[in-house]
Structure 1
Amino acid sequence: MVFGKASHLPVELEHKAFMALQMLNLNYDSATNKRMLELNIMDEFRLNDYESVDLYKERAKKIHDVTIKPRRFHEGHLVLLYNSRLKVFPGKLKSRWWGLFVVHKVYHYGAVDIRDPKSNDVWKVNGQRLKVYLGGDLLKEQREAVALQDSQV
């Protein structure tokens, strides 16, 4: 019941009980009825536990879903992508947010097409793995830096 597996009575336990009944010359029919009643009660306990586990999972899911903040993106937003592969090679001070991408297209079911401004590659990702870049217009700053370098040369 604890680990979500069905409970089974050991066969040897039932066999020992049957042997004890034969040795004591007890009434087999009344012992069988009593044993069936006990098994039915145990089955009811098991089913009740399954129901309470399902109710607990539903409550935990509702609590978790309340904490998820909806993220709304529009075409042209600058976003960062969560790098889940960084967990394989952890770096204590490395940021788990990767790159700077431009939102190319937003779908109504939460998926977002993002475009890499350097290579113009487009990827479809889950919107929950993105966050808006708030550090200013990095592309504009990069263009200005390149223009400044060109003017100095």
Structure 2
Amino acid sequence: MELEPAGKARKLDIQELKEIRNDAYENARIYKDKTKLFHDKNIVQKHFSVGQRVLLYNSVLKLFPVEIESEESGKWFTVNGQQLKPFYENFQAHTVEKIQLEPPFKASS
């Protein structure tokens, strides 16, 4: 019977599948590393000073923990630093000028 050559062929096929799987894992790891680097590069670093007033978007995530104090209750709590935005007192919005448009000119025939 031809069992020995078939067995060798089967072992080679299994080895080839293992190599393909390892290549796929390696490619996935490389892709994840590149994606993480791209994402981390685009994160804007925020710098706050003690006593500065900030706006807080209410979130349950605590990726970059920052301790802040509530002005109302005086309690300290930890929040995600990426959810804080500087608070600008006496901020004046730009005024928008309104322009009245005339109907388009129609050429007479």
Is this a same-fold pair by TM over 0.5?
Answer: yes
Q: Return the match for 2:76 from 101, 104, 122.
A: 122
User: In the alignment, which residue of structure 2 is the partner of 1:65?
Assistant: 40
Are 1:75 and 2:67 counterparts? no
Q: How many pairs does the alignment contain?
A: 88
- The partner residue of 2:9 within 14, 20, 34 is 34
Aligned-residue RMSD, C-alpha: 1.8
The structure 1 segments of at least 4 consecutive aligned residues displaced by more than 4 Å after TM superposition are: none
3-state DSSP of counterpart to 1:117: coil
Give the Cα–Cα distance (whole angstroms) in 1 for the partners of residues 52 and 30 of structure 2: 40
Q: Distance in 1 between matches of 2:59 and 2:80?
A: 12
Q: Unaligned 5+ residue runs, structure 2?
A: 91-109
TM-score by length of 1: 0.53
Q: Which one of the candidate residues 32, 46, 55 is aligned to 2:30?
A: 55
Matches within 5 A, 1:128-147: 128-134=82-88, 136=89
Q: Which has the higher contact order (CA 8 A, sep 6+)?
A: 2
Structure 2 letter corresponding to 1:78: R
- Unpaired runs of 5+ in structure 1? 1-25, 86-109, 138-153
Amino acid at match of 2:47: R
Equivalent AA in structure 1 for residue 49 of structure 2: H
Identity of aligned residues (%): 34
TM-score when normalising by structure 2: 0.73
Residue identity in the other structure for 1:133: F
